[in-house]
Amino acid sequence: MTDQAKPTEAATAHALALLEKKAARLRHELVELRRKLSHARRGLSKSHAIQLQEANQKLALAALHADDIAAMAVADLAALTEAFQRDAVTGTLNRAFMLDRLEHALLMARRDKRRLALVFVDLDHFKPINDRLGHAVGDEVLQIVAHSLQSVLRESDSVCRYGGDEFLVLLPAIATAADAERIAVDMLMALSTPVSVGGEMLKLSASLGISIYPDDGEDSATLINHADAAMYRRKHAGLGDFQPHWGAWFQEQSPSLQDLREANAQLVLAALKAQESAADATEAHCQQLKHMAIVAHELRNPLTPLRIAAGLLINRNSTGEIPIERLQAIINGQVTCMTRLIDDLLDASRLSTSTLRIECSDIDLGSILNQVAASCRPGMELRQQHFSMCIRPEPICMFGDPMRLAQIFSNLLDNASKYTPENGEISLELVLLDTYAVVTVRDNGIGISAEALPTIFDLFVQDAGALPHSNGGLGIGLSVVRDLVQTHGGSVVAHSAGRGRGSDFVVTLPLSDS
């Protein structure tokens, strides 16, 4: 029994002793009144009937008062007992009371010669949720888990918060081990439903271990230990499933039955995974259709001005005062736009098939950053934006692809300029930390919403607030940046205080050993 359970049991015992002492005192008073009444009846004559009646009335009132106090004491005791039987966070049974209920269930199972099951439930990745979102959100997650488990159990089953993020489920009446496995599948399905907690959508999962009486043990300690061990085997093999203990009873069965049970367990797990895969495939298909619709729309946009300009060139009599040079500029501009879109799509295709070509050599990162800044300055000057750059003059040696590195920082600077208003501030800064170069592209533009920030590097993802400034972009550039940086052994992260508060993109790249 844990140290936490000992104060709880001591408080319960103390409260129970006080109530019993109070009830005993009332019973003693009632007995004394009845004794006095009996004595008065024997000693009074008929002339004392009035005194006897008054004494009887007092006795009746005292008895009624004693009954009221006794009823209140019983109600208080019941409420107190109920409170001390429950976990304060989840409202499930506490550990001490669950052990008592398990002992009683084992007595009944031995008497009736039937099986019972224990399911040990351990949440997956609960600590990161608790650390990142706080203990209040962690408690809410535990309450959701308790409710999910109880929603699929039978009336005779019990749930206990065994400790931390662990739960113990008692199934006191099962016909076969397969019954426990079916309930375990239902629990996994209930837990897998996405829930909104602390402003985030979470998909919870757990690792389950199952032990069966009498197959895996005949006492509570053995059954709990075997269920716990099975849970850890499941966790080491892969999260989000259940694992039976496969005790001595099962080992004594025929090989064919063992194969059948293992096949049944694998079939249940395969069905779960197939259901999840089907849902993922449906979602991916919907996203693919959506992305293709976006691509088709963006590729179609330049076609109208191209057709008009081409028609005017063919029929020169209808050009009127429009110079041929202007028509050629329109065509070149729209072709450039289509070329950019097609290049983005090719890069996205190479990302998905892992065929981005990288040709690395020893290079000076500072020289590449200076070239990129020179190529991006005209666009910033056109928007009357203020650009500053802080790079150390001496060479910064690293092993990388100069063309791809230029593509990374051109993309980041172009984005900074695109999403920053006129007279805005844009900067590029490089610092050296041990064996890494850290390059920060900073702007005071439209910023990134908290909702979009976690997925800003995903393919085809764009912040809704940035769409009016995207100029027909497909949401591919940052995904390409991330993969190119990772291909060079580095990392890239985005920071923003929110919409209208600017953005920072921080690229970390390893330097050469020499």
Does the pLDDT value for residue 439 go beyond 90? yes
- What is the per-residue pLDDT for 41? 59
Does the pLDDT value for residue 196 go beyond 80? yes
Contact criterion met (CB below 8 Å) for 389 and 416: no
110-151 pLDDT, tens digit per residue, is 999 999 999 999 998 888 888 888 888 888 999 999 999 999
Q: Does the global pTM surpass 0.75?
A: no
Q: Report if residue 298 sits inside a domain.
A: no
CA distances from 265 to 97, 206, 261, 262 (A): 32, 17, 6, 5
How far is it, in rounded angstroms, from Cα 36 to Cα 39? 5
Same domain, yes or no: 71 and 186: no
Q: Report if residue 273 sits inside a domain.
A: no
42 versus 508: the higher-pLDDT residue is 508
Does the pLDDT value for residue 321 go beyond 80? no
Domain boundary among 63, 84, 105: 84
Same domain, yes or no: 38 and 140: no
Same domain, yes or no: 19 and 67: yes
Same domain, yes or no: 336 and 243: no
Return the minimum-mean-pLDDT range out of 48-52, 194-198, 398-402, 422-426. Answer: 48-52
43-53 pLDDT, tens digit per residue, is 555 545 565 56
- What is the per-residue pLDDT for 89? 86
Domain enclosing residue 106, as ranges = 95-252
- DSSP β-ladder status, 206-213 and 242-244: parallel
Q: Report if residue 45 sits inside a domain.
A: yes
Domain boundary among 30, 57, 84: 84
pLDDT class of 508 with cuts at 50, 70, 90: very high
Same domain, yes or no: 200 and 328: no
Q: Report if residue 453 sits inside a domain.
A: yes
pLDDT class of 468 with cuts at 50, 70, 90: very low
Give the CATH number of the domain where residue 444 resides: 3.30.565.10
Q: Report if residue 393 sits inside a domain.
A: yes
- What is the per-residue pLDDT for 65? 54
Own/partner pairs, 66-72, CB within 8 angstroms, 24+ separation: 66/26, 66/27, 66/29, 66/30, 69/22, 69/26, 70/23, 70/26
Q: Report if residue 452 sits inside a domain.
A: yes
Same domain, yes or no: 395 and 345: no
Contact criterion met (CB below 8 Å) for 161 and 146: yes
**Residues whose CB is less than 8 angstroms from the CB of residue 15 and which lie 6 or more positions away in sequence, other chains included:** 77, 80
Same domain, yes or no: 78 and 103: no
pLDDT over 90, % of the chain: 27
Give the mean model confidence (pLDDT) for residues 329-338. Answer: 67
Residue 119 identity: V
- Show the tokens assigned to 377: 């300055």
Give the CATH number of the domain where residue 112 resides: 3.30.70.270
Give the mean model confidence (pLDDT) for residues 409-425. Answer: 91
463 versus 193: the higher-pLDDT residue is 193
Same domain, yes or no: 29 and 152: no
Give the mean model confidence (pLDDT) for residues 446-468. Answer: 72
Domain boundary among 51, 84, 117: 84
Q: Render the burial of 344-354: b for 16+ CB within 10 Å, e for the rest.
A: bbebbeebeee
Same domain, yes or no: 370 and 456: yes
Q: Report if residue 274 sits inside a domain.
A: no
pLDDT class of 305 with cuts at 50, 70, 90: low
Same domain, yes or no: 78 and 101: no
Does the pLDDT value for residue 485 go beyond 70? yes
Q: Which of 86-100, 102-116, 241-255, 337-351 has the highest mean pLDDT?
A: 102-116
DSSP state of 217: -
Q: Indicate the number of domains in the chain.
A: 4
Q: Report if residue 290 sits inside a domain.
A: no
Give the mean model confidence (pLDDT) for residues 201-221. Answer: 90
Same domain, yes or no: 243 and 106: yes
- What is the per-residue pLDDT for 250? 44
The mean predicted confidence, pLDDT, of the chain is 76
Same domain, yes or no: 228 and 324: no
How many CB atoms sit inside 10 A of residue 153's CB? 18
